[in-house]
């Protein structure tokens, strides 16, 4: 019997997708940060749809503060909506919890989720509570974007440059419960980015997703990757660069801008935001690989690196 561990997340998704019907009102089906749907053929906006689970012992440890768990549940869907260059609108939150869970824990989860949602215009309009062996929050989010303007993973072209917001690595040291989803930046990037993804599986894996969907190679310069303080300080044998490439859950935006617009882009970014934005590589002709170029010119393929959901 084939298990999820045998085939991994991507193959499992592929097998499920083969069972899904296609619809003429579906602009982008499974495989991007959000699905994109259009309610009428002449509609002037598209809706982006996403859902994410946050599960005890997978996405947080049992001692994690409930406010942080709520923040993470909403932050993850906000980050996916941002990665489509859309504006957050509504969300539903389901909580599944063991019967012995104190009611205050539930209240704290919501008091962690609600301020972040409100800050970004995401209105919680419902959800459900059910019994479970394990504490789980399942968030479903909807965002809006002008029709046809969602930025997809598939738009990177040779000659584009790769950029990433913030710094990367070791978010498990704490940042994964308190990160700031790049919502304003994502919507702003609609005018610049040819492709975009949020860094959830790790820079290497997410660059490989863009490369595969765009049918190009993404070449990262190892010396350019912005390393988080946590990655630099990690008390283990893994290099800060490998933390940045593989850890995941940074929830920064990874995107591409045409090379000829990059100078104009960089000055526009600096005028618009205080947030660090780093050029980390380029897009070249290729076959869907993420490559890492060291200072000495050595090239290594990164596909397969990153968080494996059933590894
Ligand atoms: Mg995503």
Distance in Å, CA 32 to ligand 1 centroid:
7
**Contact (CB, 8 A) for 81 and 190:** no
Residue appearing with tokens 């990037």: 189
Torsion on CA atoms 158, 161, 166, 171, rounded to nearest 10: 30
Residue 9: per-residue pLDDT: 80
Please give the distance of CA 149 from its chain centroid, rounded to a whole number: 18
Distance 50 CA to ligand 1 centre (A): 9
N-term to C-term CA, the chain: 17
Query: Ligand 1 centroid vs 81 CA: distance in angstroms?
Result: 8
pLDDT in tens, 235-270: 899 999 999 999 999 999 999 999 999 999 999 999
The pLDDT score that the predictor gives to residue 306 is 58
Distance 82 CA to ligand 1 centre (A): 9
Look at residue 140 in the predicted model and tell me its pLDDT: 98
State in Å: Cα 104 to ligand 1 middle.
30
Placement of tokens 């990665």 in the chain: 83
Cα of 232 vs its chain's centroid, Å: 22
Which pLDDT score, from 0 to 100, does residue 19 have?
A: 83
**What is the reported pLDDT for 302?**
86
Pairing between β-strand 290-293 and β-strand 216-221 as defined by DSSP bridges: parallel
Give the span between the Cα atoms of 123 and 90, in whole angstroms: 5
- Which residues in the chain come in under a pLDDT of 70? 304-311
Ligand 1 centroid to 96 CA: how many Å? 23
pTM of the full structure:
0.94
Q: Separation of 4 CA from ligand 1 center, angstroms?
A: 20
C-alpha of residue 21 to centroid of ligand 1, in Å: 23
Query: From the CA of 79, how far away is ligand 1's center (Å)?
Result: 7
Residues with CB under 5 A from ligand 1 (ion): 33, 80, 198, 200
Instruction: Tell how far the Cα of 73 is from the centroid of ligand 1, in angstroms.
Output: 13
Residue 226 near residue 250 (C-beta atoms within 8 A): no
Ligand 1 centroid–CA 74 distance in Å is 13
**How remote is the CA of residue 261 from the centroid of ligand 1, in Å?**
25
Block residue for tokens 């283990």: 236
What count of other Cβ atoms lies within 10 Å of the Cβ of residue 305? Answer: 21
Structure tokens at 155: 């738009």
* Burial category of 237 from C-beta neighbours within 10 Å (exposed 0-12, middle 13-18, buried 19 and up): exposed
Per DSSP, 202 falls in state -
């Amino acid at each position: 019997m084939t298990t999820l561990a045998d085939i991994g997340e991507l193959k499992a998704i592929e097998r499920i997708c083969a069972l899904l019907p296609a619809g003429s009102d579906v602009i982008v089906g499974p495989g991007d940060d959000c699905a994109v749907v259009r309610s009428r053929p002449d509609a002037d906006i598209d809706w982006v749809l996403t859902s994410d689970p946050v599960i005890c012992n997978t996405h947080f440890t049992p001692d994690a503060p409930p406010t942080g768990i709520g923040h993470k549940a909403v932050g993850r869907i906000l980050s996916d909506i941002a990665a489509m260059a859309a504006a957050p609108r509504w969300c539903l939150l389901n909580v599944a919890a063991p019967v012995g869970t104190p009611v205050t824990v539930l209240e704290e989860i919501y008091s962690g989720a609600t301020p972040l949602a409100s800050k970004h215009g995401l209105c919680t309009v419902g959800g459900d509570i059910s019994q479970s062996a394990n504490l789980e929050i399942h968030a479903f989010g909807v965002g809006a974007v002008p029709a046809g303007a969602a930025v997809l993973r598939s738009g990177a072209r040779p000659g584009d440059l790769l950029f990433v917001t913030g710094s990367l690595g070791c978010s498990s040291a704490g940042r994964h419960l308190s990160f700031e989803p790049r919502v304003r930046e994502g919507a702003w990037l609609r005018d610049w980015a040819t492709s975009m993804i949020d860094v959830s599986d790790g820079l290497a894996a997410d660059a490989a997703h863009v490369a595969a969907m765009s049918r190009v190679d993404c070449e990262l310069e190892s010396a350019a990757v912005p390393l988080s303080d946590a990655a630099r300080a990690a008390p283990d044998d893994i290099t800060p660069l490998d933390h940045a490439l593989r850890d995941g859950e940074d929830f920064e935006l990874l995107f591409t801008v045409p090379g000829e617009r990059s100078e104009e882009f960089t000055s526009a970014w600096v005028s618009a935001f205080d947030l660090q934005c780093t050029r980390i590589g380029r897009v070249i002709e290729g076959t869907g690989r993420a490559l890492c170029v060291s200072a000495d010119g050595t090239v290594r393929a990164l596909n397969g690196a990153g968080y494996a959901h059933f590894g």
